[in-house]
């Protein structure tokens, strides 16, 4: 039935108009036209600017008639728009008084904060024409993707193995062999690889529209161009990065990304997005004005009393997340991605900022974080916080969780790194980490699923570099090696960087396997960094945010070269999937059967300051609260530089100890496939090699 | 964009010449849906289509869905490589029955091709 109120009431030049619906914000295709709706509290007038696609050629400037102004919202339907050939933006007029948080400039054409697709950067790396007045232009999106029966997978969070991935880096290297390198479609072709590896969740580094040319420059040392490559600087929160789509030049990035999610879901793989709500790409008062600043500076940004930008993000500005308007935008955005793209969860970059009030003070009960936790549409999404910010707020263990939020556990990373390099005094901490960090997350009943365990992530060394470099090697970033973390808890195993010493090479592989073993037998949610499974290197650079080259690209030739590392990863991931006792959602002290602690002597863990040994036994009967009977598992860790004998606790009645993995052995004897574990002759004692981890199961 | 329709044997062959985008897609729909209503097999010759936009793909899918509801076959023939690539990347490809050219499509309507051949010829 045709709606009786859906006809034009106004004309402007050749355009037919009527008052729009204020909700939803953004540009929405409606029968016969497009509904435009945009908020500004302080603008005195607003004009819709329509451009010819792929250019800044203006087709029309349609002022919103005063009767289309509802509260602080400008809303209008434009009929008969050829929506595939047109891009749009707004001019906002109003006062320019920075000290009051008003920076209107009607000369600028502004990107709609709710734009669902963006023109201006549709092909990755194509040098922009900076003389164009309108760099980022809104586009219209058909929201009728055929999902068939797909929905978010809702995998229990404790069963996830997360793989942190950069979309372009995964397949851009020529060795990837895919049809469309560096794109969403490229990932599609590598789904069989991901399945073989055994990950069931991709955490994609930022895919919201960003500008790879932000702060782009020539590296003074190498002459190479550097980019805003990782993309932690959002231009448009509702728009997928078109430059990551093989079909971006045909406007099909939305469908390409949705198809990727759909196909990953078909293969049991969830998708978590790394979202950056702490700042925008507009920077401080010296940065460009392309959207938020020109629409409502005071609403979107945290400003000092003098009208300057607070910089809790370290990137020039701070999004004013607990302003009610901005809070709604963040909610609308995540709901959109969850409902429209079937996204399974979100990881929030510098999430501590989300808990600051409008003048930057940390809130005890932050409305945004609470709203996200209780939102009906996000109810089944994973919510993961990077629980710190660049302004010094560090909330690992204390992030307001509302029973929902998990955290990147930075302490897990630091403690495991120190332990495997053989530092003193770590045994007590490691006992906490392998249980899912009850010292951090036990006090408010959060449980091990609050802890995303990781040893490496995009920030910092790769796992191979962690065992190959004592010092960061960031000269290629063009900042005189001053950027990036200097305290990495890394150890090069005897030589800095590449070496031909077979003993060092062997030890490095062993250390990689030690790290992975501890990660995968720990309670909590393990996350591995793309490329670590083939011992990928960034040549000691621990901050490769700006490189569109093989420092970041996954080198697929390593799959052959380092096949033993891949095999170890694959089998260790399979082992975790096979054993629910590794994936509890309650701490062991809450269950009938306890985790027990051992050392070189059974039942006697050595917590003395110089101890480098720890073993533990997980009772199979306690798996998932006793609901999923499992084998009992025993793990022995030795970070001492000599082999040690470990007395074994008795295996449960009618079972005997079998070895699943032993990092001290040379491949292929270092690991087997789950189910083919090998009975050990001596059931009373094992030798744990120097710097080794052994995993036994009782069966 | 121009559309020519000829009837052969038990099928209609629709030759589309030109781009299918938001400005031409309504015309494609207007001309093809009546054939669907006649319950004829439809072979759409895409060999003269260089570009198919998001709206174009959706129109083709709409035609396909309408025909499937009537258990009436719609075949795309001679889809250019770039369009096929776009369709694969965005998931549209899997919805359609696609042959290399009109002759193969005609043979298929006579039952001379099996589904496996289609997959082989478009792999």
With bands split at pLDDT 50, 70 and 90, how would you rate the model's confidence at A567?
A: very high
Q: What value does the mean pLDDT take over residues A394-403?
A: 92
pLDDT of residue B38: 85
Binning pLDDT at 50, 70 and 90, where does residue A599 land?
Answer: very high
| Tokens, residue A249 | 């030049």
- Give the containing element (helix H, strand E) for A673: none
pLDDT at position B120 = 35
The burial of A443, by beta-carbon neighbours within 10 Å (0-12 exposed, 13-18 middle, 19 or more buried), is given as: exposed
Q: Do A179 and B85 touch (CB under 8 A)?
A: yes
**CB neighbours (10 Å) of residue A483?**
16
pLDDT in the model for residue A589:
75
Q: Look at strands A86-93 and A96-97 and give their pairing.
A: unpaired
Q: Would you list which residues of chain A are within 8 Å, Cβ to Cβ, of chain B?
A: 82-85, 142, 144, 146, 179-180, 183-185, 188, 245-247, 250-252, 255-256, 258-259, 262-263
Helix and strand element counts for chain B (H, E): 5, 5
Candidates A142, A245, A262; nearest CB to B58: A142
Residue A698: pLDDT over 90: yes
DSSP secondary structure code for residue A122 in this structure: -
pLDDT interval class at A559 (50, 70, 90): very high
Sign of the CA dihedral running A450, A455, A459, A460: positive
d(CA A373, CA A370): 5
Let me know: does B77 contact B101? Beta carbons within 8 Å.
yes
Using DSSP's 3-state secondary structure scheme, residue A525 falls into strand
Residues A542-563 have a mean pLDDT of: 97
- Let me know: does A645 contact A687? Beta carbons within 8 Å: yes
Q: Is the pLDDT of residue A404 over 60?
A: yes
3-state secondary structure A542-578: CCCCCCCCCCCCCCCCHHHHCHHHHHHHHHHHHHHHH
Contacts of A188 in chain B (CB under 8 A): 89
> Which helix (DSSP H) or strand (DSSP E) does residue B120 occupy?
helix B115-122
Whole-complex ipTM: 0.90
In this predicted model, what pLDDT tens digit does every residue of A70-129 receive, in sequence order?
A: 999 999 999 999 999 999 999 999 999 999 999 999 999 999 999 999 999 999 999 999
Contact indicator for A18, A73 with CB cutoff of 8 Å:
no
Vertex A392: Cα angle to A373 and A446 (nearest 5) = 35
Sign for the CA dihedral angle at B104, B106, B111, B112 comes to negative
CA distance B19 to chain A (A): 12
Chain B neighbors of A144, CB-CB under 8 A: 58
> Where does the pLDDT of residue B73 fall: very low under 50, low under 70, confident under 90, or very high at 90 and above?
confident
Distance between CA B89 and CA A258 in Å, rounded? 10
Residue A418: band (very low, low, confident or very high) from pLDDT cuts 50, 70, 90: very high
Q: Which of A403-417, A457-471, A503-517, B23-37 has the lowest mean pLDDT?
A: B23-37
Q: Which of A351, A334, A447, A357 is nearest to A393 (CA)?
A: A351
Distances (CA, A) of A603 to A595, A599, A619: 11, 7, 14
Nearest to A247 among B55, B61, B89 (CB): B89
According to DSSP H, which parts of A381-532 are helical? 410-420, 427-434, 438-441, 463-466, 502-520
Instruction: Search chain B and give the residue with CA nearest A250.
Output: B53
Chain A CB within 8 Å of residue B86 CB: yes
Prediction pTM value:
0.96
Residue A460 has pLDDT above 80, yes or no: yes
Contact yes or no for A485/A466 (Cβ under 8 A): no
Query: What DSSP designation does A484 have?
Result: S
- Rounded distance, CA A596 to CA A113, Å? 53
Contact residues, chain B, for A83 at CB < 8 Å: 22, 55
Cα distance between residue A224 and residue A180, in whole Å: 24
How distant, in Å, are the alpha carbons of A35, A148, A432, A541 from that of A415? Answer: 53, 45, 10, 21
Chain-centre distance for alpha carbon A367: 23
Are B89 and A180 inside 8 Å of each other by CB?
yes
Proportion of chain A above pLDDT 90, given as a percent: 90
B21 touches chain A (CB under 8 A): yes
Count of CB atoms situated within 10 Å of the CB of A246: 24
The CATH classification number of A590-698 equals 2.60.40.1180
In angstroms, the separation between the Cα of residue A187 and the nearest Cα of chain B is: 10
Buried b (16+ CB within 10 A) or exposed e, A142-169: beebbbeebebbebebbbbbbbbbbbbb
Confidence of residue A169 (pLDDT cuts 50, 70, 90): very high
**Cis peptide leading into A24, omega within 30 of 0?**
yes
Catalytic residues of A: 349, 386
Interval A185-192 mean pLDDT: 98
Distance of CA A96 to CAs A43, A351, A665, Å?
Answer: 10, 31, 69
Look up residue A303 and give its DSSP letter: B
Residue A591 confidence (pLDDT): 67
Query: Which distant-in-sequence residues (6+ apart) come within 8 Å of A597 by Cβ?
Result: A431, A603, A605, A614, A615, A616
Per-chain mean pLDDT for chain A: 95
- Rounded to an integer, the average pLDDT of A480-502 is 97
Structure tokens at A583: 């994936």
DSSP A252: -
Q: Under 8 Å CB-to-CB from B29, ≥6 apart: which residues?
A: B59, B62, B63
What are the C-alpha distances in Å from A1 to residues A16, A244, A529, A543?
Answer: 21, 40, 53, 58
Q: What domains appear along chain B, each with residue ranges and CATH number?
A: 2-122 (3.30.750.24)
Q: Is the peptide bond before A112 cis (omega within 30 degrees of 0)?
A: no
Dist. CA A344–CA A348, nearest whole Å: 13
pLDDT at A503 over 90: yes
Cα separation, A257 vs A244, in Å, equals 9
> For residue A214, what pLDDT is reported?
94
| Interchain pair B90, A180: CB under 8 A | no
What are the extents of the domains in chain A?
590-698
Q: Which residues pair with A75 in a beta bridge?
A: A37
Per-residue pLDDT, A598: 97
- How would residue A4 be classed by pLDDT, with cut points 50, 70 and 90? low
Q: Quick one: tokens of A507?
A: 């030890």
The pLDDT score that the predictor gives to residue A603 is 96
Helix or strand or coil: residue A614? strand
What DSSP designation does A86 have?
Answer: E
User: Is residue B55 within 8 angstroms of chain A, CB to CB?
Assistant: yes
Kindly report the number of other CB atoms within 10 A of residue B46's CB atom: 24
B22–A84 C-beta distance less than 8 A: yes
Which of the residue ranges A148-162, A318-332, A581-595, A640-654 would you say has the lowest mean pLDDT? A581-595
Residues linked to residue A103 through DSSP beta bridges, in sequence order: A96
The whole-angstrom separation of Cα A97 and Cα A600 is 70
Name the residue facing A255 among B23, B54, B95 (closest C-beta).
Answer: B54
């Amino acid at each position: 039935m045709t709606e009786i109120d859906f006809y034009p009431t106004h004309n402007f030049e050749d355009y037919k108009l009527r008052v729009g619906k204020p909700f939803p914000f953004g540009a929405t295709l409606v029968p016969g036209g497009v509904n435009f709706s945009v908020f500004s509290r302080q603008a005195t007038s607003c004009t819709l600017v329509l451009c010819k696609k792929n250019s800044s050629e203006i087709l029309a400037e349609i002022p919103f008639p005063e009767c289309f102004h509802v509260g602080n919202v400008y809303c209008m339907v434009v009929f008969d728009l050829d929506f595939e050939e047109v891009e749009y933006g707004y001019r906002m007029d109003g006062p320019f008084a920075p000290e009051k948080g008003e920076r209107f400039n009607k000369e600028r054409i502004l990107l709609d904060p709710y734009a669902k697709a963006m023109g201006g950067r549709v092909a990755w790396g194509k040098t922009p024409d900076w003389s164009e007045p309108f760099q980022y232009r809104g586009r219209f999106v058909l929201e009728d993707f055929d999902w068939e029966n797909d929905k978010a997978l809702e995998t229990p969070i404790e069963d996830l193995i997360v793989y942190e991935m950069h979309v372009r880096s995964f397949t851009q290297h020529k060795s990837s062999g895919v049809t469309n390198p560096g794109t969403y479609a490229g990932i599609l072709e590598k789904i069989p690889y991901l399945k073989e590896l055994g990950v069931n969740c991709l955490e994609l580094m930022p895919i919201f529209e960003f500008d790879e040319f932000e702060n782009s420059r020539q590296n003074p040392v190498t002459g190479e161009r550097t980019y805003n490559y990782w993309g932690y600087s959002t231009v448009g929160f509702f728009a997928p990065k078109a430059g990551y789509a093989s079909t971006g030049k045909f406007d099909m990035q939305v469908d390409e990304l949705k198809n990727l999610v759909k196909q990953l879901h078909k293969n049991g793989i969830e998708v978590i997005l790394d979202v950056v709500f702490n700042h925008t790409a507009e920077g401080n008062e010296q940065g460009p004005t392309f959207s938020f600043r020109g629409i409502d500076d005071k609403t979107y940004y945290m400003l000092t009393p003098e009208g300057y930008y607070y910089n809790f993000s370290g990137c020039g500005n701070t999004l004013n997340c607990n302003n009610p308007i901005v809070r709604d935008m963040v909610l609308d955005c995540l709901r959109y991605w969850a409902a429209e793209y079937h996204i399974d969860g979100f990881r929030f970059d510098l999430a501590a900022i989300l808990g600051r009030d409008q003048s930057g003070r940390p809130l005890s009960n932050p409305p945004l974080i609470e709203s996200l936790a209780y939102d009906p549409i996000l109810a089944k999404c994973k919510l993961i916080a990077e629980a710190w910010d660049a302004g010094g707020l560090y909330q690992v263990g204390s992030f307001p969780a509302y029973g929902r939020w998990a955290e990147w556990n930075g302490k897990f990373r630091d403690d495991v790194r120190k332990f495997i390099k053989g530092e003193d005094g770590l045994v007590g901490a490691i006992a906490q980490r392998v249980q899912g960090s009850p010292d951090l997350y036990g006090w408010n009943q959060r449980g091990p699923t609050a802890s995303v365990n990781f040893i490496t992530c995009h920030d910092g060394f790769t796992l191979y570099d962690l065992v190959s470099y004592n010092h960061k090697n960031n000269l290629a970033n063009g900042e005189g090696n001053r950027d990036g973390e200097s305290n990495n808890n890394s150890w090069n195993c005897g030589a800095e960087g590449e070496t031909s010493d077979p003993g060092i090479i062997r030890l490095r592989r062993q250390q990689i396997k030690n790290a992975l073993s501890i990660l995968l037998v720990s309670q909590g949610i393990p996350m591995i960094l793309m490329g670590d499974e083939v011992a990928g290197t960034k040549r000691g650079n621990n901050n490769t945010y700006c490189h569109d080259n093989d420092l970041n690209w996954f080198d697929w030739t390593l799959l052959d070269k380092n096949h033993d590392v891949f095999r170890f990863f694959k089998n260790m991931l399979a082992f975790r999937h096979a054993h629910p006792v590794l994936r509890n959602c309650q701490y062991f002290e809450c269950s009938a059967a306890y985790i027990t602690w051992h050392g070189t002597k059974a039942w006697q863990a050595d917590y003395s300051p110089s101890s480098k040994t720890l073993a533990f036994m997980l009772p199979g009967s306690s798996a998932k609260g006793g609901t999923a009977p499992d084998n009992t598992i025993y793990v022995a860790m030795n970070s001492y530089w000599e082999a040690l004998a470990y007395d074994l606790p008795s295996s449960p009645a009618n079972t005997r100890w079998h070895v699943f993995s032993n990092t001290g052995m040379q491949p292929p004897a270092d690991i087997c496939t789950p189910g083919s574990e090998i009975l050990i002759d001596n059931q009373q004692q094992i030798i744990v090699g120097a710097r080794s981890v052994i995993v036994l199961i009782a069966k | 964009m121009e559309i020519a329709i000829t009837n052969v044997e038990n099928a209609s062959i629709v030759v589309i010449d030109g781009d299918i985008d938001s400005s031409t897609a309504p015309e494609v729909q207007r001309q093809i849906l009546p054939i669907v209503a006649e319950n004829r097999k439809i072979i759409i010759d895409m060999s003269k289509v260089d570009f198919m936009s998001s709206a174009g793909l959706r129109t083709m899918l709409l035609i396909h869905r309408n025909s499937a509801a009537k258990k009436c076959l719609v075949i795309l023939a001679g889809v250019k490589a770039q369009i096929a690539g776009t369709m694969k990347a965005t998931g549209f490809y899997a919805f359609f029955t696609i042959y290399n050219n009109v002759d193969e499509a005609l043979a298929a309507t006579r039952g001379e091709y099996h589904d496996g051949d289609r997959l082989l010829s478009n792999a």
